[in-house]
Amino acid sequence: MLEGLSLLIFVSIGAVTVLVALRLGRGPSRAVERITMQASSPAERAPSSNLVWRELLERIGSFVPASPKTLPALKRRLVRAGFRNPHASRYFTGLRLVAALAGAPAGLLIGLRAAPDNLVLAGIAGAGIGFLAPAQYLAARTRRRQRAIEKGLPNALDLMVVCVESGLGLDQTTLQVARELQRAHPEICDEFAVMNLEMRAGKSRAEALHNLAERAGVADLKKLVAVLVQTDRFGTSIADSLRAHAAYMRTMAHQRAEEQASKLPVKLVFPIFFCVLPSLFVVTLGPVLTQLVREIVPMIENM
């Protein structure tokens, strides 16, 4: 089993090293080609490996019939993870099939070393892990992106207050926020930019705001969208609404921090009980027990 795992790890590290080396080696040549503006002839051009891989995944994914019930949910999950390509669902389906087909031989290889009698189960387990791995990666990427949006929302809200108070409208405010915070918080800026593009395409402001909340899937952003929609509907002051909501968000963040701090003593009980106290007992009682054993054992033997 250890030999099989070592071989698998070695092959994986070698493959990743080769891919990184190829990508790093291609970078300078692309830069020189872009500077010198030397375009190769169509016969000399070769398709990129990324394009070939994407086309292969799309073709594999197109063979699998998409369920009309699960397809909208899958597209929503992909959008929340940051994949806005129209064919992202096909890529994802093809990737799951390829991962399942690649996981089956890996499971057989590990099962051949560990449990030769259960090769079928090992192959099925490898295929199942490969099939579920892309979904787990998608969920992890979605959570990471939502945390990034939550982290950048307070700064974006403060900048929105400044822009509104300086005389800009809500559309110009979101566009300005998307430009100014692109380097610091690109996730929320991308969402604001998409919202502006939707409004330019003809959608109403309320619909674009609702789409923004649906794409992100963040509770704080949904609350901000609700405030902006109500402000636009009833004609109240946007600056006052944003300022009040900013104060509310600061209060909620402070309360969440206090909640996490109050949970800390309870979370420290198990590490202290299982890690700190045993070592403390060994340090304090170890010499005493050693001395008792040295004195009591000879007395028992003499009796």
pLDDT digits (tens, 9 = 90+) for 33-79: 544 544 444 434 444 556 677 677 777 777 776 677 788 888 899 99
DSSP assignment letter at 145: H
Q: Please tell me the distance from the alpha carbon of residue 136 to that of residue 131, in angstroms, as a whole number.
A: 10
Q: Please tell me the distance from the alpha carbon of residue 212 to that of residue 196, in angstroms, as a whole number.
A: 10
Lowest mean pLDDT among 22-26, 135-139, 230-234: 22-26
Lowest mean pLDDT among 8-17, 57-66, 232-241: 8-17
pLDDT band (50, 70, 90) for residue 193: very high
pLDDT for residue 11? 58
The answer to whether residue 92 scores a pLDDT higher than 70 is yes
pLDDT for residue 27? 53
Rank 41-50, 130-139, 225-234 by mean pLDDT and report only the highest.
Answer: 130-139
Tally of helices (H runs) and strands (E runs) in the chain: 12, 0
pLDDT for residue 38? 44
**Of 300 and 5, the one with more pLDDT:** 300
Question: pLDDT tens-digit profile of 100-125?
Answer: 989 888 888 888 887 777 778 888 88
Mean pLDDT of all residues in 262-288 = 86
- CA-nearest of 135, 127, 131 to 110 is 127
- Count CB atoms within 10 A of the CB of residue 106: 20
Structure tokens at 207: 């619909």
pLDDT band (50, 70, 90) for residue 141: very high
**Of 296 and 9, the one with more pLDDT:** 296
Question: pLDDT tens-digit profile of 172-187?
Answer: 998 999 999 988 899 9
pLDDT for residue 86? 85
Mean pLDDT of all residues in 269-287 = 85
Distances (CA, A) of 140 to 70, 81, 87, 99, 144: 20, 9, 21, 17, 6
Mean pLDDT of the chain: 81
- Do the beta carbons of residue 150 and residue 218 sit within 8 Å? yes
Mean pLDDT of all residues in 20-34 = 56
Percent of the chain surpassing pLDDT 70: 82
The answer to whether residue 152 scores a pLDDT higher than 80 is yes
The answer to whether residue 24 scores a pLDDT higher than 90 is no
Half-sphere exposure of 4 (CA within 13 A, CB side): 13
Half-sphere exposure of 131 (CA within 13 A, CB side): 10
